[in-house]
Amino acid sequence: MKVLNYSLLDVFTTVPFGGNQLAVFHEGESLTTGMMQKIAKELNLSETVFLSPPNDRDNQKKLRIFTPQMELPMAGHPTIGAAFLLADQDLIQTEEGVNEWVLEEAVGDISVTVYKEGGLVKKVEMTQPLPSFGEQFFDVEQIAELLTLTPADLHASFPIQTVSTGVPFLFVPVRSLAAINTINFRSDVWEQHFSRNEATRHLFVFTTETEHPASTVHSRMFAPAMGIPEDPATGAASGPLGAYLVEHAVIPPVDNGIYTIRSEQGLEMGRPSFIDITIVKTDQGFQQVKIGGTSVTVGKGQLYLEDATR
């Protein structure tokens, strides 16, 4: 029998039972892809990450990331959570101040910054690939039906558009906090009209009305194709969210080209999450996309496998 050790974290929160849950398996190199997928389905968290030695010795770790239904090329909360765990438990040597790491994911090398102060990990940031803007979606009535809203609830001043920094999400602007709080996602409409198009399978809905004064936007994310009915914190969508907000002037311009954004998410699920986003855009276009936050380790466990090779 093989015993697999894992840690359980809450990511994008400073308190237990907030943020997004994450299981981090420490010995992923011995597992097949099929077994990793079975484990992720068994735990049924938004994402499960498996750590293994990096291909490049100069990098820190290799990550493979799974939802209950699929492997992801890149994801935010598993990257932030795994880096926090590695630093917090001294599994990778971490100095006081700023630590620059590189983690390997299916999308490529991901730059990560770990901030340590007084022996504690205060924040982890990851740099995401530069944004790619995809097609716009013009059937407002169909989107409204999907979300059980009226067309008037959607913000007509901004487009419904797919944006990606590794994983594509369809961004849907909503006028008010009252409207976004009442969303009832209709799986039947999604299955019929959205599920077969990669550009529209994952829905990210936001409004500039927020519950917390320090927040910039209030967000919700629905991804049935990933096996996630609703996600309490979506790092992979937060980078492209920031790019969308900047590209379409949803937020005010700044003189130096550096935009700082905070997305609040998961409040409707009882798991408040706060994701910090930094966007750098100059006259030459987007130069940098970063997301960041902190995490809390809430437990650890073991999984028993009769045969880890299958």
One of 27, 29, 42, 47 is an active-site residue; which one? 47
Q: Is 47 a catalytic residue?
A: yes
What CA–CA distance (Å, rounded) separates 42 from 37?
9
Residues 6+ away with beta carbon under 8 Å from 178: none
The pair of structure tokens assigned to 150 is 């009226």
> How many Cβ atoms are within 10 Å of 75's Cβ, its own excluded?
30
263 near 216, Cβ under 8 Å?
yes
Nearest to 165 by CA among 206, 111, 124: 111
Reported as type and span, the H/E element at residue 246 is: helix 235-247
Going by C-beta distance under 8 Å and a sequence separation of 6 or more, which residues neighbour residue 115?
97, 98, 99, 121, 122, 123, 124, 125
Residues with a known catalytic role: 47
